[in-house]
Amino acid sequence: MSVGGEFQTLCRDLFSNSMTHVCSAVVPESLTKKYRNRLINTRDPYSIYQLDSRNTSYLLVFHFEDMLDCQTIQLTDVHNLNCRTHSGDSKNLYFGYSHRMCYNYTMDLTSDLKEHCGARGYEENMQSGYYYTNHDPNPDIRTDVDAGALLALPTLFICLVISILLIAFLRWRTSRI
């Protein structure tokens, strides 16, 4: 099962309904030291959203400053989410090369980040989706290619050039004999 498929299966509830913005902040140094999560650094922006239909489910979106403009969001698939801003505008956000994880049990990191950004009085988390974004402003370029395929293209080209040069050298060498 692919990572995106696993996230979509484990966190299927997050795809079923909209989520409302709880709070946003930047990751404090104390939490990066406490959890040693290699995917977040001190001062990384994050936003927390609570699932409207199940108030114990949260989605934490990391690395994308503009998320705090989104009053509500709806995940349409693992790469796209619809954002409704405070002014009522809707926009699609595309995150093509993001890392996602889902936990169907209480996560202390979620609780600590909620507390850090001032979210008090919310239900304890029983499900946390962590969405480490890598925002791609142009999703139309290559939405169906992963990093491995992109790395393979230059490698194949170099192998082709070397093969042609080798064949040319061998032909030249045999013509001299």
Q: Looking at residue 160, what is its pLDDT?
A: 83
Cβ atoms of residues 93 and 145 within 8 Å: no
Cβ atoms of residues 154 and 61 within 8 Å: no
Q: Give 160 or 101, the one with higher predicted confidence.
A: 101
Residue 75: left (phi > 0), alpha (psi -120 to 50), or beta? beta
pLDDT at 136 over 70: no
Q: Looking at residue 97, what is its pLDDT?
A: 82
Q: Looking at residue 142, what is its pLDDT?
A: 43
Confidence tier at 148 by pLDDT (50, 70, 90): low
Q: Looking at residue 137, what is its pLDDT?
A: 53
